[in-house]
Amino acid sequence: MLVTMKKILISFVLLVLVQFSCTKLDDKLYDKIPPDSYTADPVLQMSVIYAPMRDFLDWGGWWFANELTGDGAVGPTRDTDWDDGGKWRVLHQHTWNHETEAINSMWSRFYNGIVEANRFIEAQQPFVGDPIVDQAIAKAKVLRAYYYYLAIDNYGDVPYVTQYLDAVPSPKRNHRSQIFEQLVKEVEESTPLIYFGTSRTGVGKGAAFSLLTKLYLNHAVYTGAVNSAYWAKAEQYADSVIQLGIYSLESDALAPFVTNNHNSIENIWIIPYNEDNYEGFNLHMRTLHYNHNLTFDMVAGPWNGFAAMKDHFDTYTDNDRRKAGFLYGQQFTSDGSVINDGVANSALIIDPYIPALEMTIAEHTPQEIRMSGARVAKFEIKKGAKANLSNGFPIFRYADILLMKAEAMIRQGQNGDEYVNMVRSRAGLDPWSGVTLEMLLEERGRELFWEAHRRQDLIRFGQFNRAWWEKDASTPDRNVFPIPLWAKEANPNLDADIVDINP
């Protein structure tokens, strides 16, 4: 069995199939299929398909690659801290290569999920025809499509394999446009088999419709050509989410991100992190100042790293309720006392202005190095927070659905004001009239900041290669990441000509 597994993993260009300590996930977290008398319960088998998502915010690299490459979040070097061989800087400046850590890490996570989905689907074939199994297979296909969507979004042309035991030991890459067509076809065919349900932690109709909205909205990037019918499809599937009637905007703009937000009316599909038994959400550790543990009575000391670029921070007006998701100005302990930074020998005052991407003690003051850049507390940091949070991370969220519907309408020459203004009104802002694509991109930046949408949005709007703070204009080849070097060494066919998907 071990030999077979190695053959399979090499076929998918993986070095190892990562096994997580939490393979027996609680099905209440991840799925709602009723238990049945099968020897192998489909619910428990599906948990391993979800497992690679656990790494998305940390060492799996996905969040880093899709947020730090944009025009909002940044990981500055703070003298001897946060240089890390330049791995954050190259993402910001679009100078990464096929050995950059985040890019290396994503590939294996995506294909781990694909491998497990393929294995599950094949294992259930003897039971096809049972409604429970049919729905489980449909969900597994949507999950597989989600991983492939991430693969083509980040890497472009990739191997597309839907068999667990594949006859080709070293698959070649397939055309991204053809993979896109396969994905929308499979998700559209699978969605009717998924029962209506309200789970936010497992694949449901809402997640499937949201994935179709994303795919069709980004079709021009994936296929290289605009198809007006696909804009209409994006709008159609956004409407499908809306018409389910089980999602709506929270009244508080930050409510979708609170601790234990697993039942938020706004969240459609989340990664259900838990501080004790499903760890992996530690972005607060990466952004909070060393002494912010005093603000939240944390049991762990933060690392004083990531921040918001000032140009992005300044797009929030003072009456924008979403601005409460940032920490800036004088900082206080939980009992209201002033926090001091002993190294800088001054009160802790967070300045949104960051002097440089690389700050050194030779050129910058201790205050600049340690206190610059608004810190992000969009996801609630509860009193007594640990090194990992119990906040679910939204993959799909209702506010995004409204903004995507508006975008699809605008791209079809229609007026999308109503749906944009639903989001703006919730943020306490005045309504807009005649919303343009440029305005919409700005609003998406404010609403979806820190949720790993920005890279994709900037590419779709043709803005990813422009210059911004501490970044020169980049070239279109930066719109996809290079396939990791280790993957190419395992499978030289990844450098071969791209081939059509086998019929």
pTM for the whole structure? 0.92
Query: For residue 247, what are the β-bridge partners?
Result: none
Specify the pLDDT at position 167: 62
CA distance 393 to 401: 16
| Spatial distance between the Cα atoms of 30 and 20, rounded to a whole number of angstroms | 15
Which amino acid makes up residue 70? G
Token pair recorded at residue 260: 């234990």
Dump pLDDT digits (tens) for 278-323. Answer: 999 999 999 999 999 999 999 999 999 999 999 999 999 999 999 9
| Domain boundaries defined on the chain | 2-32+40-273+479-495, 283-389
* CA distances (Å), origin 459, targets 112, 353, 463, 475: 26, 26, 6, 12
What is the 3-class SS of 381-442, one letter each residue? Answer: CCCCCCCCCCCCEEEEEHHHHHHHHHHHHHHCCCCCHHHHHHHHHHCCCCCCCCCCHHHHHH
The position carrying tokens 């807009």 is 432
Q: Is the pLDDT of residue 34 over 80?
A: no
The 8-class DSSP code of residue 257 comes to G
DSSP calls for 296-339: HT-SS------EE-HHHHTTS-TT-GGGGGEE-EE-B-TTSPBP
pLDDT at 7 over 50: no
Task: Say whether pLDDT at 478 is over 60.
Answer: yes
Q: CATH number of 2-32+40-273+479-495: 1.25.40.390, 3.30.1360.200, 3.40.50.2020, 1.20.1340.10? A: 1.25.40.390
Distance CA 389, CA 369 (A): 26
- Examine the pLDDT at 5 and tell me if it is beyond 70: no
**Out of 24-28, 52-56, 448-452, 478-482, least confident range:** 24-28
Angle between helices 131-155 and 205-217 (to 10 degrees): 30
The amino acid present at 35, given as its one-letter code, is P
pLDDT tens-digit map of 96-154:
999 999 999 999 999 999 999 999 999 999 999 999 999 999 999 999 999 999 999 99
Residue 200 φ then ψ, to 5°: -100, -10
Non-local CB neighbours of 335 within 8 Å, separated by 6+ positions: none
Q: Mean pLDDT across the stretch 332-344?
A: 97
In Å, how far are 91, 170, 387, 452 from 70, measured between CA atoms? 9, 34, 26, 9
Tell me how far apart the alpha carbons of residues 372 and 108 are, in angstroms, rounded to a whole number: 35
Task: Report the alpha-carbon distance of residue 115 to residue 121 in Å, rounded.
Answer: 10
Which residues lie closer than 8 Å to 399 by C-beta, 6 or more apart? 249, 256, 266, 423, 426, 447, 448
